[in-house]
Amino acid sequence: MKDRVVVITGASSGIGASLATMLAKRGAKLVLVARREKELAEVASRCGTKAVPVVADVTRRADVKRVVAEALKRHGHVDVWINNAGRGISRLPSALTDEDLDDMMQVNAKAAMYAMQEILPHFQERNAGHVINVSSMLGRVPFALVRAAYSASKAFLNSLTASFRMEVHATHPGIQISLVSPGVVATEFGVHALHGGPDSRMLPNSQTADEVAEVLAKVIETRAADTYTRPEGRKMVAGYYAAEDLDEVESKPPFAMPAPK
């Protein structure tokens, strides 16, 4: 990890902040990206002199271009780009509005697309580089009704990641595009969800941000294409899609949850 240049979006809190602190201790050169200047500066200060904070809104392509330019100006190259910025939602699918869906797609899918497209020419010049997209178990199996639009946006991200990887590998096999799927993580994700929501830190069976960050650090080293942060995740997804009767599967936990009022 020593001296690798790593860009992390959504770095002002949660998984992004934990990963930044972890990679800094292992000698990485960091470009930390988020909208909240004060919080981002605090994370950067914990990471030492090799961390560069860049205040930017990655849902704007112009801001993503600026982050790429700043990273190259400061370090000359980028080794790893981690699309970690994201947002949740609390609204049943029957109540979703155009604005709800647009917000989820902009933050959780289009922002990652901007980053992959804008960093790609640099990676192609070197035939080297690694993008890691942080997805969610909800993008695999939509078992949380109030997260319907979030699940849809992450499912889009999953498909886009695989398609992007196959396109790039055809001409530049030295570039990797990876996907990582956490489950519930004990961060402020739920509190900051669109329309509010339960505090993810209070939900049972959650992982810590540090545990997820450790998985992401391992993916940087192994360059694995598709990773779950819990070992049982892959089995759960495979079982859901292999089921002959989804009605039966969805009548049982974790799907058989009372609809929120």
pLDDT tens, residue by residue, 219-235:
999 999 999 999 899 99
Q: Are 30 and 52 in contact (CB under 8 A)?
A: yes
Residue 257 CA, chain-centre distance (Å), reads 26
> 5-232 falls under which CATH superfamily?
NAD(P)-binding Rossmann-like Domain (3.40.50.720)
Residue with structure tokens 């540090």?
A: 210
Instruction: List active site positions.
Output: 150
Closest CA to 106 of 207, 194, 206, 24: 194
Using CA atoms, how far apart are residues 29 and 20, in angstroms rounded to an integer? Answer: 10
Residue 169, number of CB atoms within 10 A of its CB: 14
What's the mean pLDDT when you consider all of the chain?
Answer: 93
pLDDT at 242: 96
User: Tens digit of pLDDT for each residue in 35-61?
Assistant: 999 999 999 999 999 899 999 999 999
Is 15's pLDDT higher than 90?
yes
Phi, psi for 7 (deg, rounded to 5) = -95, 130
Phi, psi for 235 (deg, rounded to 5) = -65, -40
User: Tens digit of pLDDT for each residue in 55-69?
Assistant: 999 999 999 999 999
